[in-house]
Structure formats: structure tokens, C-alpha cells
Structure 1
């Protein structure tokens, strides 16, 4: 598996926390030095490990907010 780099540019919020201390977070992350994108994924307590997640462009995040506004 190829190495990759990431930088959490902005921590926007914690959605939930597991009994083992992992948190599902909504952040803005730069992957491999690219333009920061919105990201939802599970993180170990000190961000030393991560689970699989979903990364969204600005346009996709706006559309998701619109869709959530229609169902909530």
C-alpha cells in the first residue's frame, strides 16, 4: 500500500464516540498536500489511526447539507 500524507486543517466537530474512545469526526482535511476537503471518518483517540471514511468536495458538502435539511 502506498504511503500518503494528511493534515487536519480544521476540526469541525465530533459526531459520536465509541466505548473504546474512537470518535466519528467531521473535519476538513488536506490529503497529500491537496485542496482541503470535508471528511467524515472514525479516529483513534490521538488521531494516530483512522477508519474508512467519506471525503466530500465543497459542492458535495453543500448538496449533502441541502438533502439533510429536507429530511430532518
Structure 2
């Protein structure tokens, strides 16, 4: 697997945490020294390991917010 470099620029919020100390977080992350994007994924307690996730641009995050706000939940 290729070596992926990342830098968490901002922690937006934690959505949940499991009993093993991993948390699902929304962060603003720069991947491989590129422009930072919003990222939702599971992280180990010290952010040294990560699970699969989804990365969104600001425009995509805005659209997702519109969709979520329109849902009857």
C-alpha cells in the first residue's frame, strides 16, 4: 500500500465513539499535501489508524447538509 500523508487541519466534531476507543469524526484534512477537504471516517484514539471513509469538498458538504435538512427524521 502506498504511504499516505495526512494532516488534520481542523476537527469539526465527533459523531460517535465505540467501546474500543475508535471515534467517527468529521475533520478538515489535507491528504498528501493537497488542499484540505472535509472527511468523515473512524479514527483510533491517537489518530494513528483510520477506517474507510468519505471525503467531500465544501460544495459537496453543503449539498449533503441540504439533503439532510430536507429529510423527515
Partner of 2:36: 36
RMSD: 0.7
Structure 2 gap segments, 5+ residues each: none
With normalisation by structure 1, the TM-score equals 0.97
- Runs of 4+ in structure 1 off by over 4 angstroms are none
TM-score, length-normalised on structure 2?
Answer: 0.95
- DSSP-derived class of the 2:59 partner: helix
Match of 1:48 in 2: 48
Q: Which residue of 2 aligns with 1:17?
A: 17
Residue segments in structure 1 that go unaligned for 5+ positions in a row: none
| Alpha-carbon separation, structure 1, partners of 2:17 and 2:61 | 22
